[in-house]
Chain A
Amino acid sequence: MKKFGLLFVLCVVMIAFVAACSEKGNTVRIGVNAEMTGDMPAVGESCKKAAEMAVKEINDAGGIDVAGQKYKVELFVEDNAGKPDQSASAAQKLITQQKVHAIVGPNATRYALPASEIAESSKVVMITPWSTNPKTTLDAKTNAPKKYVFRACFIDPFQGRVVAKFALETLKAKKAAVLYDVASEYNKGIAEIFKDTFEQSGGKVVAFETYTTNDKDFSGQLTKIKKAQPDMMFLPNYYSEIPLQIQQAKRLGINVPFVGSDSWGSQELHKLCGNDCEGYYFSTHYAADAATPVATKFIEGFKAKYGTLPDDVAALTYDSFGLLFQALKSAAKLDRDAIRDALAKIPKYEGVTGNMQFKEGSGDPTKSAVIVQIKGGKFVYFATANP
């Protein structure tokens, strides 16, 4: 009898679970796969904040209209711990356990790549806000675009070309040096495109040096770069490494302009770098001080809610949600495939980071980039580059 009692309790518990799970019909479930811990927690934090803000706004407005029915939006945030394998398992968990309709994130390419494989094979829409490497939306074997993976940012070939043109035309540099992390997809991809474009346009890359993730000493590479006497130096690396690279370069007597890519764009850079980064440039997605009305509204809202300026991960995450919401509104029904079809067909989306639209049959949007300069602890708008 005792055994039966236990069995009964178990049954009740299981039925309760199943019942709880089957209630998913009433909400739109969106997963966020973010770098909450690991080597870029500032990125995950921004992503989560912007996601919560976007979801709160739509719920406060009464929810979202999908095929004639109102739904509330429910958010599920998973930490990928800044590790490629955990990023894949976070995506898996969101898809199979939380049964989300779509995923936003991860942000950095090295985590977005493994997660995108899971999303593609499970046929769930994944929008990465910040991964600019072309490979994220391409199938590794066939090189054809992935069907379910989208992004809210431009891609590295574009960014690499923008920076190379900026170095040649605005900085009037003839000899460039590059130092990049060879173990990271993003850094490697953008460094190679910069080199190709810079040399095709008549410049010369006099030093092309590498290091490995987690290195802190770059003295060997920098001494070599100093010997090559460049006019400018390109550092397409993450914001936590930039202060060390610039400080060590200066200590060795390399006094050239340093230029970076969108991976510099975290407010943490000011804290870590102090005065050492003053006056340098990087290409990025938007500039908070040269904002459109849509962007101003977002920036004001973010500042009011969290007390800080949103960085570009926050802006791009917000745009990812915006794209997703617009797709949901035009979707035929609330289902993973319908969302995917509606997203691919968005005619034009007016976002915080500019106007965008997905290229035919691809998850990459067409949009512009900006160059910003670091001035007095702020990112200041410098120039716009159109596609």
Chain B
Amino acid sequence: MTYVLQQLLNALQVGSIYALIALGYTMVYGILTMINFAHGDLFMVGAFLCFVAAVTFNLPFVPVLLLSMIGVAFLGVVIERFAYKPLRQAPRVSAIITALGVGLFLENFTLALNPYPKQIPQLLENTTWTFSGLSVSSLQVFVIILSLVLMWILDLIVRRTMVGMAMRAISWDKTVAPLLGVPVNMIISVTFAIGTSLGGAAGVMYALAYPVIDPYMGIMVGWKAFIAAVVGGIGNIRGAMIGGYILGAVEIMVVAFMPSTYRDFIAFVLLLVLLIFRPYGILGKPHPQKV
């Protein structure tokens, strides 16, 4: 029993990170119907900003988190303005290739600055509590709670504010929204800022939980978060959260009860089967084709 509980806790931690990154994919897709493949690398930049803020400037945790979120958000907006906006009317495949290119640029730029893996100092006091064999670390609890809080704030923004309403309007109909006075460019920038800052926050938390970072760390995590977004129904915010937790749970549970060599194989077969029965993801709705 403790074994299952321990594995569930592990799944929650991994799932929280996937969910936070998946939100970035899903928000951009919801508003632009474009997949920002550079998002995994923005997550990596978040982790490196955390390193710079914590080591070079010796800042405590809260400023580190805010600085990384703001830094990554700014980078996200700049990338949107200079790399994606000129392609907004181009075929969608061009935008996707550009996104992949931006991702490669970020990786190799970080690599060129310094190729060595970096150690993140311990920013938060980390104690481990043991309840009859179940080990719970304060860091684990913190990652899970902070992710949930960030997701709750995002949900409030999208459902309860004017900006959120504007986002939903653009996502609903991109042609009519500007006619009704929605400032499309501004809202797209805001969406990018929010989505990427969540990726930056995920980068910081990841760096705290797994304190050795390198420029390639965003690739695999980014792909997995993208899959989580698709499973949850890409474009749907609550779907991305659910998808992240499902992917985390599937990965950990395969390892827990089957040989760990089969982890990725079984995890992805399960997700493929799920997509066969629900091709638009768990919460996604089919898009009516406009003629």
Interface, chain A (partner B; CB < 8 A): 36-39, 41-42, 182, 209-212, 214-217, 219-221, 223-224, 226-227, 240-241, 243-244, 247, 251-253, 268, 271-274
**From A38, A247, A268, contact of B211 by CB (8 A):** A247
**From B220, B252, B261, contact of A220 by CB (8 A):** B252
- Pairs across A and B, CB under 8 Å, 5 listed: A209-B255, A216-B206, A217-B209, A252-B6, A274-B119
**From A36, A38, A210, A240, contact of B260 by CB (8 A):** A210
Does B256 contact A220, Cβ atoms closer than 8 Å? yes
How many chain B residues touch A (Cβ–Cβ < 8 Å)?
39
B135 close to chain A: CB less than 8 A: yes
- Would you list which residues of chain B between 206 and 235 have a CB under 8 Å from chain A? 206, 209-212, 214, 216-217, 219-221
Contact with A along B110-136 (1 / 0, CB 8 A): 010001110100000010101000010
B137 close to chain A: CB less than 8 A: yes
Given contacts A37-B111, A223-B6, A223-B256, contact A243 B116 (CB under 8 A): no
- Assembled-state Cα–Cα distance A80/B126 (Å): 39
Does B255 contact A224, Cβ atoms closer than 8 Å? yes
Does A214 contact B210, Cβ atoms closer than 8 Å? no
Give chain B nearest CB distance to A181 CB in angstroms.
11
- Assembled-state Cα–Cα distance A223/B137 (Å): 14
**From B10, B128, B214, B263, contact of A219 by CB (8 A):** B10
Given contacts A209-B260, A223-B6, contact A214 B216 (CB under 8 A): yes
The 10 closest A-B pairs by CB, nearest first: A220-B255, A219-B10, A216-B210, A41-B115, A220-B252, A37-B115, A240-B117, A253-B135, A209-B260, A272-B119
Interface residue SS majority, chain B: helix
Given contacts A220-B255, A244-B210, contact A252 B135 (CB under 8 A): yes
- Would you list which residues of chain B between 5 and 37 have a CB under 8 Å from chain A? 6-7, 10-11, 13-14
**From A219, A243, A253, contact of B13 by CB (8 A):** A219
CB-based nearest A residue for B119: A272
Contact with A along B241-279 (1 / 0, CB 8 A): 000000000011111100111011000000000000000
Does A39 contact B10, Cβ atoms closer than 8 Å? no
- Assembled-state Cα–Cα distance A40/B254 (Å): 30
Chain B hits for A271, CB < 8 A: 119
For the A-B complex with A41-B115, A268-B117 known, give 19 more contacts whose Cβ atoms are closer than 8 Å: A36-B115, A37-B111, A209-B260, A211-B260, A211-B263, A214-B216, A216-B212, A217-B10, A217-B13, A217-B14, A220-B255, A220-B260, A223-B6, A241-B212, A244-B210, A244-B212, A252-B6, A252-B135, A253-B135
Interface, chain B (partner A; CB < 8 A): 3, 6-7, 10-11, 13-14, 111, 115-117, 119, 126, 128, 130, 135, 137, 206, 209-212, 214, 216-217, 219-221, 251-256, 259-261, 263-264
- Assembled-state Cα–Cα distance A20/B260 (Å): 56
Does A253 contact B130, Cβ atoms closer than 8 Å? yes
Does B117 contact A39, Cβ atoms closer than 8 Å? yes
Does A38 contact B115, Cβ atoms closer than 8 Å? yes
Chain B hits for A214, CB < 8 A: 216-217, 219-220
**From B10, B135, B212, B261, contact of A210 by CB (8 A):** B261
Give chain A nearest CB distance to B100 CB in angstroms.
17
Give chain A nearest CB distance to B141 CB in angstroms.
12
Interface centre among A220, A224, A240 (most CB of B within 10 A): A220
- Assembled-state Cα–Cα distance A252/B210 (Å): 14
Does B260 contact A223, Cβ atoms closer than 8 Å? no
- Assembled-state Cα–Cα distance A60/B81 (Å): 57
- Assembled-state Cα–Cα distance A219/B128 (Å): 14
Chain A hits for B212, CB < 8 A: 216, 240-241, 243-244, 272
Given contacts A41-B116, A211-B260, A243-B119, contact A220 B10 (CB under 8 A): yes
- Assembled-state Cα–Cα distance A344/B11 (Å): 54
